Amino acid sequence: MGASAPQRRAELVERFRELKDCRRCALAATRTNVVFGAGNADADLMFVGEAPGFHEDRQGRPFVGAAGKLLDKLLAEVGLDRERDTFIANVLKCRPPNNRDPLPEEIEACKPFLLEQVRLIEPRVICTLGRFATTCISGRPEGITKLRGRPMAVEVAGLPVTVYPIYHPAAGLRSGAMLTRLREDFQRLPELLAAARPTAVSGPAAGPSEAGTESAPAAPEPAQLGLFG
Ligand code: SF4
């Protein structure tokens, strides 16, 4: 910590430009666009999902499908706005073919970019959506069913943060019971955001970035840049 919000935002935009043509893993061959992430570059709350899906890959923006709409709705129910109050990114910045699970080597290749985003945005709360994001950020081996709804203090990219695992919104689209749990878990977000940054942490689960700088397909750069509040 130490850089001003405008400095950190400028650096984030720079990372976005560098990542546009990343070829660090095999997903570069099948993606349409790198989906860097979007939202307020100085948000206290970061959401971390798994990977872009079909629509995200086409549009180059995170959570634009039905799951994204549910996320917006659940945020609104607790008085939060996606663009004003959050930054949303995924563990993988490129879509796995047919939305298959991320492979360990893909997570390993892409994780430094996520950690760099955490370092620059400096969130106090990271809400992990589903199993892959929770394991990636917290380092905890337990499944999402066990960890869901339980905030934990973790060092992420050298920063003490409250990591709050919840189900992925896509689960809430498939089951009414899951939607009820998701809604319950969203209700706690304002309380977590009102709390101070944790001091004692269980980490480090993740070190600071060694994110590389590989670059550039023709992507919707202005559209994504416009989403960095
Ligand atoms: S490392 Fe990440 S950004 Fe780079 S090609 Fe793989 S998934 Fe895409």
Any atom of ligand 1 within 6 Å of the Cβ of 22: yes
How many structural domains comprise the chain?
Answer: 1
Q: Residue 160 corresponds to which tokens in the numbers above?
A: 């003490």
> What pLDDT is attached to residue 229?
63
Once rounded to an integer, what is the mean pLDDT over residues 162-172? 97
- pTM score of the predicted model: 0.89
State whether the beta carbon of 51 lies less than 6 angstroms from ligand 1.
Answer: no
pLDDT of residue 222: 38
pLDDT at 28 over 70: yes
Using the predicted structure, report yes or no on whether residue 55 has a pLDDT greater than 60. Answer: yes
In the chain, the percentage of residues whose pLDDT exceeds 90 is: 85
Evaluate if residue 211 carries a pLDDT over 50: no
Question: Does the pLDDT at position 177 exceed 50?
Answer: yes
- Point out the least confidently predicted range of 42-51, 112-121, 175-184, 205-214: 205-214
Structure tokens at 213: 């700088």
- Taking only the tens place, the pLDDT of each residue in 130-148 is 999 999 999 999 999 999 9
What percent of the chain shows pLDDT beyond 70? 88
Residue 8 lies in a domain: no
Q: Residue 93 is part of a domain; what is its CATH number?
A: 3.40.470.10
Whether 1 maps to a domain, the answer reads no
Pairing relation of β-strands 38-39 and 86-90?
Answer: antiparallel
For residue 92, give the ligand 1 atom closest to its CA. Answer: 7
Cα 107 to the center of its chain, rounded Å:
13
- pLDDT tens digit sequence for 71-121: 999 999 999 999 999 999 999 999 999 999 999 999 999 999 999 999 999
Ligand 1 centre to CA of 108 (Å) is 10
What are the strands, taking DSSP E only, across the chain? 38-39, 45-49, 86-90, 125-129, 152-156, 159-166
Q: Is residue 150 part of a domain?
A: yes
CB count in 10 Å sphere of residue 52: 29
Q: Which residue has the tokens 């955001």?
A: 193
Residues in the chain: 229
Task: Establish if 15 belongs to a structural domain.
Answer: no
Domain contains 2? no
161 occurs within a structural domain: yes
Residue 62, domain extent: 29-225
Other CB atoms within a 10 A radius of the CB of residue 175 amount to 12
Has residue 75 been placed in a domain? Answer: yes
* Ligand 1 atom 3, closest CA: 93
CA–CA dist 121, 228 (Å, integer):
11
Residue 199: the pLDDT is 87
Could you give the CA distance from residue 49 to residue 89 in angstroms, rounded to a whole number?
6
**Residue at 20 is within a domain:** no
Q: Judge contact between 26 and 6, C-beta under 8 A.
A: no
